[in-house]
Structure 1
Amino acid sequence: MSVDTTATAAPPDLVAPRSGFVHDTAAVFVREFALVLRDPFSLIFSLLQPLVFLGLFAPLLAGSLSADQLGGESPLTWFLPGVVVMIALFGTGSTGANLLFELMTGSYERVLATPISRASILVGRALKELAPLAVQAVIITLAAVPFGVTFSPVGVLVGLAILGVFGVGLGALSYALALASKNREWLFWGVQQTLIFPLLILSGMMLPLESGPAWMQTAATVNPLTYVVNAERAAFTGALGDPSILHGAIAAALTCAVGLVVGIRSVLRSAG
């Protein structure tokens, strides 16, 4: 008697559903964002720093710089987009901090054991940082309206989209730094702070660089954040045809591409 050795197909309900990048990213985002919703007070307190910068730094600009030096804009109108970029810079630049805790507790290894896309881990976590930051940016923008700030709603959306792409890339680089700093939290914060503040200053986010030394202006031309900041200022005022918006979008896309390549390679090495 012959034995049929043909493999029997598994019932449809037992076959694992095929997931894609979008599905995996959404799963990571929902998992990570649920933790944020459990601690809403962190969002409230995170508003304090940009509000302090907005309330104290803008009056200093008004007393020390003329409208011509600020491109014809009022100090608050000129400074507000920079504050929005600063929120994203500090938020997504700290994406790897949560990973350091997961590395210590072992939960990161459990995530790697799942069949989830490695790129989705990076993008989902970065979007988790960007979602509350977008809400904060809208609140701060609306809070500045009574003080004479005018902005374009469509331009704000365009600016946030550019900032989102840039934030994904920066978040992925932060993730890669956390993996390289495993068990050495001091190294992560040391490198992160050493890089963040020069990028911030050399982008013209806080002060215009036109009156600065030539070497600072030269360094600003190779700083991708410079183009993102300029794009945000043009977008917020509604100048959607300004070439700086295209330049900012290109800088954000390149940062995102580099960040994802470096981040995915780091994740694959850690999984191996």
Structure 2
Amino acid sequence: MSTSTVEAPTVVAVHDTPASGFWADSWNVMMRELKPMLREPASILFSMVQPLVFLGLFAPLLPAISGGSALQWFVPGVVAMSCAFGASFAGASLSDEIISGSHERMLVSPLSRSSLLVGRALKETVPMLLQTALILIVVTPFSFDLHLPGVLVGVAMLALFSIGGSALSFALAVASQGQEWLFWAVQQTVIFPVLLLAGVLLPLDDAPDWFGVLSDLNPLTYVVTAERELFAGVWNADVIAAGFAGGAVVTALGLWVGVRAMRRA
């Protein structure tokens, strides 16, 4: 009588990979996340049209200002708003994957948890770049002075902010545990006060004192202020440094919270 032996399954623990492997994994995750966008170009176009709707509705209401076009002040705010909206929506796709179970399969892959987050966050910078380019192409013929060096620095600042905002959105999706209503409830509750306190659409010069205090605590405020100066071709080192510091704070917080959420998932 022969006996057969059954080997016990080998359990492989998932650890963070070395630095070189981490960036390669992040790049692979980024490209994986970009492929659905390329297969559905209509969704990209729709997301890019939204900021143009804001421009079309608000531009006729902008007051005339001395020494230049009101678009010079308004356009950077719309660009920053589009970046913040896109970053805050990023977790919706992860929430769908959690519900479908595909995210669980990614967690047991050889990819590190950190690269799963960073790769997704890097992907969110691509729509932001496309939206910014489209907005500038549309408004430049309409009395908007294009200062390309300032725009490029401003876009780098927004990319930094977008990575951190997207990471926070992914952390919210993981914390929501597939409950879409919870994700959207928190996202909608947070994003609009953040945008209003940053003065993306309206100046805050005549705001009450308490509003000014909350605005000063908002990292996006410093990003928006720096964007307006950069888009106008003004190189104020203190303002630019404050803008990058605001983006860096959001990125550091987002990556710390997001990586912890992914590792506990």
- Does the alignment reach a TM-score above 0.5? yes
- 2:175 maps to 1:180: yes
| 1:211-245 deviation line (CA, Å, top 9, x unaligned) | 12221111100000100101111111222334211
Q: Which residue of 1 aligns with 2:225?
A: 230
Q: TM-score scaled to structure 1, two decimals?
A: 0.87
| Secondary structure of 1:202 counterpart | helix
- Taking a change above 3 Å as real, the CA distance of residues 240 and 115 of structure 1, as seen in their structure-2 partners, is farther
| Secondary structure of 1:146 counterpart | coil
Counterpart of 2:160 in structure 1: which amino acid?
A: V
| 1:74-119 deviation line (CA, Å, top 9, x unaligned) | 2111010111111111111111100111111111111111222322
Question: Partners of 1:74 and 1:27 in 2: how far apart?
Answer: 43
- 2:169 maps to 1:171: no
Task: Quote the offset at 1:67 in angstroms.
Answer: 2.6
Question: Partners of 1:129 and 1:160 in 2: how far apart?
Answer: 13
Which of 149, 153, 156 does residue 154 from structure 1 map onto? 149
CA contact (8 A) 1:96 1:177 kept: yes
- Specify which structure has the bigger relative contact order, considering alpha-carbon pairs within 8 angstroms and separated by 6 or more residues: 2
Q: Which residue of 1 aligns with 2:109?
A: 114
CA RMSD of aligned residues (A): 1.6
Q: Within 5 Å, give how 1:251-266 maps onto structure 2.
A: 251-266=246-261
| Secondary structure of 2:198 counterpart | coil
CA contact (8 A) 2:48 2:134 kept: no
Question: Partners of 2:223 and 2:112 in 1: how far apart?
Answer: 28
> How many aligned positions are there?
248
Q: Which residue of 2 aligns with 1:67?
A: 65
Question: Partners of 1:138 and 1:169 in 2: how far apart?
Answer: 21
Q: Which residue of 2 aligns with 1:221?
A: 216
Task: Quote the offset at 1:259 in angstroms.
Answer: 0.5
CA contact (8 A) 1:59 1:75 kept: no
Question: Partners of 2:34 and 2:237 in 1: how far apart?
Answer: 35
Q: Which residue of 1 aligns with 2:55?
A: 54
Q: TM-score scaled to structure 2, two decimals?
A: 0.89
Unaligned runs of 5+ in 2: 1-16
Question: Partners of 1:202 and 1:246 in 2: how far apart?
Answer: 20
Counterpart of 1:87 in structure 2: which amino acid?
A: S
Question: Partners of 1:241 and 1:211 in 2: how far apart?
Answer: 23
Question: Partners of 2:132 and 2:162 in 1: how far apart?
Answer: 14
Counterpart of 1:57 in structure 2: which amino acid?
A: F
| Secondary structure of 1:54 counterpart | helix
Task: Quote the offset at 1:73 in angstroms.
Answer: 4.7
Unaligned runs of 5+ in 1: 1-16
